[in-house]
Amino acid sequence: MAEVAFRNVTKVFDGDVVAVDALDHTVEDGEFMVLVGPSGCGKTTALRMVAGLERPTSGTIEIDGRIVNDVPPKSRDIAMVFQNYALYPHMSVEQNIAFGLKMHGFPRREIAGRVREVSAMLDLDDLLRRRPAQLSGGQRQRVAMGRALARHPKVFLLDEPLSNLDAKLRAQLRADLKRLHQQLRTTSVYVTHDQVEAMTLGERIAVMSKGRLQQVGTPQEVYARPANLFVAGFVGSPPMNLLAGRVVGGELHVAGAHVGSAAGWGTADPVVGLRPEALRVRRDGAVGPVISFVVDVVEPLGHEVVVHGRIAGQEETPVVARLDAHEEPRPEEILELTFLAEEIHLFDGTSGARRDI
Amino acid sequence: MTDQAIEIPQAAATSGPSRRRLRWPSPWHLVLIPVALVMVTPFAWMVMTSIQTPEEARHFPPVFPSGIHWQNYTEALAAAPFGRFFFNTAIVTGVTVLGNLILCSLAGYAFARFRFFGRDVLFVVILATLMIPFQVVMIPTFLIMRHLGLIDSLGALILPNLVTPFGIFLMRQFFRTLPIELEEAARIDGCSRLGTLFRIVLPLSGPALATLAVITFLYNWNDFLWPLVAIQSEEHMTLQLGLSTFQGAHSIEWTLLMAGNVMGVLPMLLAFLLAQRQFVRSIASAGITG
The terminus-to-terminus CA distance of chain B in angstroms comes to 15
Domain boundaries, chain B: 70-286
- Same domain for A89 and A227, yes or no, is yes
Residue A354 lies in a domain: no
* Cβ contact B5–A51 (<8 Å): no
User: Among partner residues A90, A103, A137, which is closest to B189 by beta-carbon distance?
Assistant: A103
pLDDT tens readout for residues A200-216? 999 999 999 999 999 99
Give the SS3 label for residue A85. coil
* Cβ contact B286–A90 (<8 Å): yes
- Same domain for A218 and A259, yes or no, is no
Let me know if B125 is exposed, middle or buried by CB neighbors in 10 A (0-12, 13-18, 19+): exposed
* Cβ contact B200–A79 (<8 Å): no
Share of chain A above pLDDT 90, in %: 53
* Cβ contact A74–B8 (<8 Å): no
- Same domain for A86 and A210, yes or no, is yes
Count of H-run helices and E-run strands, chain A: 8, 20
Selected for mutation to probe chain B from A39, A63, A90, A163 (highest B CB count within 10 Å) is A90
Residue A42 lies in a domain: yes
User: Among partner residues B1, B181, B188, which is closest to A73 by beta-carbon distance?
Assistant: B188
Residue B184's pLDDT is what? 93
* Cβ contact B2–A52 (<8 Å): no
Residue B4's pLDDT is what? 45
Residue A263 lies in a domain: yes
Average pLDDT of the segment spanning A314-337? 87
Residue A96's pLDDT is what? 93
Measured distance CA(A1)–CA(B227) in Å, rounded: 65
Q: Which of A210, A234, A258 delimits the end of a domain?
A: A234
- Same domain for A204 and A259, yes or no, is no
Average pLDDT of the segment spanning A234-245? 90
Residue A41 lies in a domain: yes
Measured distance CA(B197)–CA(B212) in Å, rounded: 17
Residue A1's pLDDT is what? 61
Q: Which of A201, A234, A267 delimits the end of a domain?
A: A234
Q: Is the pLDDT of residue A93 over 90?
A: yes
- Same domain for A214 and A247, yes or no, is no
By C-alpha distance, the chain A residue nearest B184 is: A53
User: Among partner residues B5, B186, B204, which is closest to A164 by beta-carbon distance?
Assistant: B5
- Same domain for A181 and A228, yes or no, is yes
In the structure, what pLDDT confidence band is assigned to residue A269 with cuts at 50, 70 and 90? confident
Q: What's the whole-model pTM score?
A: 0.79
Measured distance CA(A112)–CA(A99) in Å, rounded: 11
- Same domain for A20 and A157, yes or no, is yes
Measured distance CA(B126)–CA(B117) in Å, rounded: 15
Selected for mutation to probe chain A from B2, B4, B6, B197 (highest A CB count within 10 Å) is B6
CATH of the domain at A288: 2.40.50.140
pLDDT tens readout for residues B19-54? 556 667 788 888 999 999 999 999 899 988 888 888
Measured distance CA(A124)–CA(A300) in Å, rounded: 40
Measured distance CA(A91)–CA(A110) in Å, rounded: 19
- Same domain for A202 and A274, yes or no, is no
Instruction: Write phi, then psi, for B93 (nearest 5 degrees).
Output: -65, -45
- Same domain for A59 and A195, yes or no, is yes
pLDDT tens readout for residues A140-154? 988 999 999 898 899
Measured distance CA(A186)–CA(A154) in Å, rounded: 7
DSSP string over chain B: --SSPP----PSP---GGG-------TTHHHHHHHHHHHHHHHHHHHHHTTS-HHHHH-SS----SS--THHHHHHHHHTTHHHHHHHHHHHHHHHHHHHHHHHHHHHHHHHH---TTHHHHHHHHHHGGGS-HHHHHHHHHHHHHHTT-TTSHHHHHGGGSS-HHHHHHHHHHHHHS-HHHHHHHHHHT--HHHHIIIIIGGG-HHHHHHHHHHHHHHHHH--HHHHHH--SGGG--HHHHHGGGB-SS-B-HHHHHHHHHHHHHHHHHHHHHHHHHHHHHHHHH----
Confirm if A221 and A340 have CB atoms less than 8 A apart.
no
By C-alpha distance, the chain B residue nearest A130 is: B285
- Same domain for A249 and A195, yes or no, is no
Instruction: Give me the number of domains chain A comprises.
Output: 2
- Same domain for A198 and A314, yes or no, is no
Q: Looking at this protein, which amino acid is placed at residue A234?
A: F
Residue A353 lies in a domain: no
B260, HSE (Cβ side, Cα atoms, 13 Å): 27
A94 Cβ contact partners less than 8 Å away, ≥ 6 residues apart: A115, A119, A128, A129
Confirm if A285 and A323 have CB atoms less than 8 A apart.
no
Residue A103 lies in a domain: yes
Q: Looking at this protein, which amino acid is placed at residue A232?
A: A
At the second CATH level, the architecture of B70-286 is Orthogonal Bundle (1.10)
Q: Which of A234, A262, A284 delimits the end of a domain?
A: A234
Positions in chain B whose pLDDT score sits under 50: 1-5, 7, 9-18, 285-290
- Same domain for A73 and A170, yes or no, is yes
Q: Containing domain of residue A273, as a range?
A: 241-348
Confirm if A291 and A311 have CB atoms less than 8 A apart.
yes
Residue A93 lies in a domain: yes
By C-alpha distance, the chain B residue nearest A82 is: B181
Question: Quick count: other Cβ atoms within 10 Å of Cβ A37?
Answer: 28
* Cβ contact B288–A90 (<8 Å): no
Residue A355 lies in a domain: no
Chain A neighbors of B287, CB-CB under 8 A = 133
Measured distance CA(A80)–CA(A48) in Å, rounded: 9
A327, HSE (Cβ side, Cα atoms, 13 Å): 28
Residue B57's pLDDT is what? 78
Measured distance CA(A356)–CA(B190) in Å, rounded: 51
CATH of the domain at A72: 3.40.50.300
